[in-house]
């Protein structure tokens, strides 16, 4: 794989868009994992099974986003050193990442197996869904090393400016997952257990394909087994940059679990409606997620190359594009709120409740376009601690309290509960703009 380092040269928007599209397609395919899970469960099983998979997947999302956050630290470091053309340090980051994430896979899998039932209990999962949710999380927990291995491979490739190869790995995994869901959960009626087995199998296949690709193509710079060794200074840098991003992801997703717990207490239909609504919103926000991931890498490389203005312009271009997409989703959510929910459930009341939820949440599609992109710029500059604090402030000072107090009001609707998301994003935007104006994001990036 020839290293061209294209993110620091050429026209900014075409370069950003070309790099972003594979991120978007990868995210789309990854979202199909959970979506197909719910589609199959919703059409072949009862509402309780939908609730079980929706709630159990949130537990696994907690772990997945922890991994994504920490591996993003490695991606940013690789990008910064690559932009500075310090290939020896790039190899050091990769070698030490293999060590760090290998140990992490064992620890995280063990913790998940020990605590999964406790976490599900905290989420107030409806009694009808409890047994299946436990089975789902146990099986998925056994596959955590595969999830971490796959994300390590992708972190390396994306830091090197290659967003296409991970797309191919995800495409293979998606085929395995869809086939597994249809056979195990659909034809064989295994319910949540079948969905979990299909998910783990898909992650395993994607990891193996990624390893085979790296073995054949290489990474584009000199790298050997000698680079896979412990360098305390580099391990520290990976951890210092990655841990805040991992903690941020865990706590934010933990807040979503707190919100799920609050809403689960309102009954199985409301629980299922929110689970379906979150899947729909997840699809709608894929462009914001894709652009923010691409921006963090592009900013990292350009900051390493001492081109801060190019990094800032890339962020603005991504933000404007995402805002336009957000406006279209918001309009659709208000014009036809139950069209998409009807694809996931045959229960008319759940469709109606879900429509209320996504109408309110749709405003956040515009607001997150701003906060996601600016936060990703800070992330690419190595300001992971600020990014963590900003997200935690908007989540725990606004979103969680908003949801809790609204849930205590008589006659509250899912529309009103859904407004917690845009309210939190407003707080995040204010904090980001203050930090942006300070100029500190440009300082000490490697």
% of the chain beyond a pLDDT of 70: 90
Task: Kindly state the average pLDDT of the residues 293-315.
Answer: 89
pTM greater than 0.85: no
Here the tokens at position 377 are 């710029």
Please report where in the chains the tokens 């059409």 appear, as a residue.
Answer: 43
Would you say residue 5 has pLDDT above 60?
A: no
pLDDT in tens, 114-137: 877 777 777 666 666 677 777 888
Would you say residue 394 has pLDDT above 50?
A: yes
Long-range contacts of 29-33 (CB under 8 A, 24+ apart): 29/167, 29/170, 29/171, 29/173, 29/174, 30/170, 30/174, 31/279, 31/282, 31/283, 31/286, 32/174, 32/177, 32/178, 33/173, 33/174, 33/177, 33/199, 33/202
Least confident of 15-24, 273-282, 436-445: 436-445
- Spell out the alpha helix ranges (H) of 348-438: 348-361, 364-380, 384-394, 400-407, 414-418, 420-438
Would you say residue 210 has pLDDT above 70?
A: yes
Would you say residue 405 has pLDDT above 50?
A: yes
Least confident of 65-74, 221-230, 242-251, 387-396: 221-230
Would you say residue 380 has pLDDT above 60?
A: yes
pLDDT in tens, 59-88: 777 777 777 778 888 888 888 888 888 888
Task: Please say whether the beta carbons of 209 and 63 come within 8 A.
Answer: no
pLDDT in tens, 81-99: 888 888 888 888 888 888 8
Helix %, strand %, coil % of the chain (to 5): 85, 0, 15
pLDDT given for residue 444 in this prediction: 58
Exposed e or buried b for every residue in 382-404, given b needs 16+ CB within 10 A?
bbbbbbbebbbebbbebbbebbe
Residue 402 has phi, psi (to 5 degrees) of -60, -50
Q: Specify the higher pLDDT residue, 442 or 401.
A: 401
Task: Please say whether the beta carbons of 191 and 139 come within 8 A.
Answer: no
Would you say residue 189 has pLDDT above 80?
A: no
283, 332, 55, 397 alpha-carbon torsion, rounded to 10°: 100
Rg (CA), the chain: 21
């Amino acid at each position: 794989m020839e290293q061209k380092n294209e993110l620091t040269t050429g026209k900014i928007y075409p370069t950003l868009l070309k790099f972003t599209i594979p991120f978007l397609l990868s995210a789309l395919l990854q979202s199909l994992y959970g979506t197909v899970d719910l589609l199959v469960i919703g059409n072949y099983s009862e509402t309780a099974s939908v609730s079980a998979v929706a709630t159990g997947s949130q537990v696994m999302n907690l772990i997945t986003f922890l991994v994504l956050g920490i591996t993003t630290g490695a991606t940013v470091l690789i990008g910064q050193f690559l932009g500075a053309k310090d290939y020896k340090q790039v190899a050091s980051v990769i070698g030490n990442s293999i060590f760090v994430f290998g140990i992490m896979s064992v620890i995280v899998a063990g913790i998940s197996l020990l605590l999964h039932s406790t976490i599900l209990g905290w989420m107030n999962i409806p009694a009808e869904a409890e047994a299946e949710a436990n089975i789902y999380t146990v099986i998925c927990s056994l596959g955590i090393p595969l999830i971490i291995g796959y994300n390590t491979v992708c972190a390396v490739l994306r830091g090197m400016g290659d967003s296409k190869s991970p797309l191919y790995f995800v495409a293979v995994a998606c085929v395995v997952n869809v086939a597994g869901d249809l056979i195990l959960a659909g034809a064989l009626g295994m319910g949540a257990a079948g969905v979990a087995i299909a998910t783990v199998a898909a992650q395993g296949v994607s990891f193996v394909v990624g390893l085979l690709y790296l073995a054949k193509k290489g990474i584009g710079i000199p790298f050997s087994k000698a680079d896979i060794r412990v360098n305390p200074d580099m391990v520290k840098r990976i951890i210092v940059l990655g841990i805040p991003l991992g903690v941020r992801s865990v706590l934010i997703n933990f807040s979503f679990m707190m919100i799920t717990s609050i809403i689960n207490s309102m009954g199985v239909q409301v629980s299922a409606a929110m689970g379906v609504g979150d899947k729909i919103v997840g699809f709608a926000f894929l462009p914001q997620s894709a652009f923010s991931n691409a921006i963090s890498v592009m900013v990292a490389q350009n900051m390493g190359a001492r081109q801060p203005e190019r990094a800032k312009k890339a962020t603005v271009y991504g933000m404007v594009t995402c805002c336009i997409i957000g406006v279209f989703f918001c309009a659709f959510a208000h014009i036809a709120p139950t069209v998409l929910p009807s694809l996931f459930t045959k229960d008319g009341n759940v469709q109606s409740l879900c429509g209320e939820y996504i109408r309110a949440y749709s405003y956040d599609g515009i607001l997150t376009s701003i906060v996601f992109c600016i936060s990703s710029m800070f992330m690419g500059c190595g300001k992971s601690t600020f990014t963590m604090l900003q997200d935690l402030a908007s989540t725990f000072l606004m979103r969680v309290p908003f949801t809790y107090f609204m849930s205590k009001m008589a006659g509250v609707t899912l529309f009103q509960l859904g407004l917690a998301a845009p309210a939190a994003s407003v707080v995040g935007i204010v904090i980001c703009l203050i930090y942006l104006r300070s100029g500190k994001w440009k300082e000490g990036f490697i």
